[in-house]
Every structure is written in C-alpha cells, then in structure tokens.
Amino acid sequence: MKCVLDASMALSFVLADEFTVDSQRALATIAVDGALVPALWEFEVLNGLRSAERRGRISEAAMTNALHGLAGLRIETHRQSLDRPQILSLANRLDLSVYDASYAWVAMETNLPLATLDSRLGKAAAAAGIALV
C-alpha cells in the first residue's frame, strides 16, 4: 500500500548511519507501491542532505548519488489544495510544527499510513488515529 513519506524516513534511506529496520520496511513498501509527499518534502530532504554534507557525514558525490537514488523511487507530490485552517488546527491539536502537521494532514486526507522516523510526529500521528508504516 502506498504511504505518506516524511523527510526523516527518506533521509534514512540514503544516510547509512540512520538506516533502520523500519527504514528497510518503508523502503520495500515504497519500491513496490510508491509514496505521497507534501510539497515541502523536497526542500526538507535537500536541507537534510546539505546539513549532512556540511557536517562531514556524506561527501558531495554521495549527496548527488542520494538525490539520484531518491529520484528513482515512485514518489509523487500531493497536489490537492492545502486546507490551511485545518493544517494549523492539526498542528495546534497535535503540538507539531506546521511542517510536521502537513505530513499528518496528507496522511489523513488520503487515508494512507505515514512513514516517519521522527518520534514526536509518529506519536502524534498515532494519537490522531493515523496508521504508521
């Protein structure tokens, strides 16, 4: 089944020290069924890769390889118009950043499970009745 993919999980696919059993399970699901992401996902992933490169965790070449690897996955951007009041309400109710609430909102709107390694987002999503990968 397709899932909503957050940046923490996507980055774990390409940063060896963050790859977990949960990452492996999510990657297998996405390789077969694909994933849906909010529009901010690409910026978060790029920023995460840039931060990893700045901190010496990956080389510039590895960063480029990571981009190609992620581009090879069946990841599509959620194109439905944002319900800004609902996202703000969800962020307040779940005590999340608006960025994290956007992943929860896409999961709720599409009735898809959420793939995240962010423990705060995962706990909030589960509390809101969102299935996790």
* Predicted pLDDT at 80: 83
What are 48-79's pLDDT values in tens digits?
A: 999 999 999 999 999 999 999 999 999 999 98
The pLDDT value given to residue 82: 80
Q: Is the pTM of this model over 0.95?
A: no
For the chain, domain boundaries? 3-127
Q: What is the pLDDT of residue 15?
A: 95
Residue type, 25: R
CA-CA distance, 43 to 15, in Å (whole number)?
Answer: 17
Average confidence (pLDDT) per 10 residues, the chain, 133 residues: 97 95 96 96 97 94 94 94 90 96 96 97 96 96
Residue linked to tokens 């077969």: 32
Domain 3-127: what homologous superfamily? 5'-nuclease (3.40.50.1010)
